[in-house]
Amino acid sequence: MKATNFPMEDDRGIVAVMIQLVHAALTPSAREAWDPPAPRSPSWFERFDRWAAAARQRDRERFLAESSDVFELERRMQALNRRPYF
């Protein structure tokens, strides 16, 4: 049985105690009310978006890896910053 935050007073009568017990049994506890929802599987659009982001990141990294020295790498990084959509 769940613990309640309501004090049990004997002078209120049996009906009040029964109502209080039913209320305590049907009311979710604070922990149940704050639990995060169960994780759901990603939708088709979310999976496609993750795939496109990963492909874009791979392309950017490949473009930067083709640089021959540090100076060219810096120029390529600046070019990507000026033009964010590679």
Distance CA 33, CA 27 (A): 10
Query: pLDDT tens digits, the chain, 86 residues: what are they?
Result: 556 565 555 566 778 878 887 877 777 765 666 677 778 899 999 999 999 999 999 999 999 999 999 999 999 999 999 886 65
pLDDT value for 52? 95
pLDDT value for 76? 94
pLDDT value for 13? 77
The token duo for 82 is 């000026």
- DSSP string computed for 15-51: HHHHHHHHHHHHSPPHHHHHSPPPP-PPPHHHHHHHH
